[in-house]
Amino acid sequence: MSFTVIIPARLASTRLPNKPLADIGGKPMIVRVAERAEQSGAAQVVVAADAQEIVNACTAHGVRAIPTRNDHPSGSDRLAEACEILGLDGQDIVVNVQGDEPLIDPALIDAVAKLLSSQPLAKMGTAAHVIHSVEDFVNPNVVKVVTDHQGLALTFSRAPIPWWRDGFASGITKLPEDPPALRHVGIYSYRADFLRAFPRLEPAPLEQCEALEQLRVLWHGHRIAVHLASQAPGPGVDTPQDLERVRQLWNSQG
């Protein structure tokens, strides 16, 4: 199955300025992400950049990068523009790999890409893994997802879901077991025609309430297939502390 990985990259970051260019083991982080994606089964890997500095950094390391507008409100809008630039067919599969995931498993990229072939009802694919700590379960920065018996998402939330009525009667001291709590992983697959249409969908009240863009898809009646990964992915980079942690992990693996 053929698919394209597009990595949206934005130079501005409030918590970590110039994040895509942060050095990890002698190369910019965005290059490290692209190199991991190139180990997947993708037919092509392209960085969709909002600044020439990112394009230059990628080109210097043999990574394909294309310039996109710098005023996109979201990564999805940037991906939609990239689809147009690349001239992708409407049924071509695109995987959105975040530009701050230098430790992403290439096998996870392949699994999310394959979801759209195995789940014909779904307009999008994503991933999740089982939560193993109460701390993560109650953390609003850890997004949870609940699925149906086919592995299609019912909802996403920052709240602790599923809510175990009997088990939580005296407070959340243990995790639900059946179904288990699932942490959403921010990787997505789309068919190119839906990716182009997504930015034109009216933003949903629930999406705005939870600050979760994927809820717009469910709000408008579309389905999202969820790949259940056997383990959590490597940590991403949002803050200087995250960057130092990833650098240490990178050095230990090298």
Residue 15 is predicted with a pLDDT of 78
pLDDT at residue 73 in the model: 81
User: What is the value of pTM for the model shown?
Assistant: 0.94
Average pLDDT (190-194) is: 94
At 238 the pLDDT is 87
10 Å Cβ neighbour count for 140?
Answer: 12
> What is the mean predicted confidence (pLDDT) over 115-137?
95
Q: Which two tokens stand for residue 235?
A: 């940590």
Q: Give the span between the Cα atoms of 241 and 227, in whole angstroms.
A: 29
* Residue 80 exposed, middle or buried by CB count within 10 Å (0-12, 13-18, 19+): buried
Structure confidence at residue 254 (pLDDT): 58
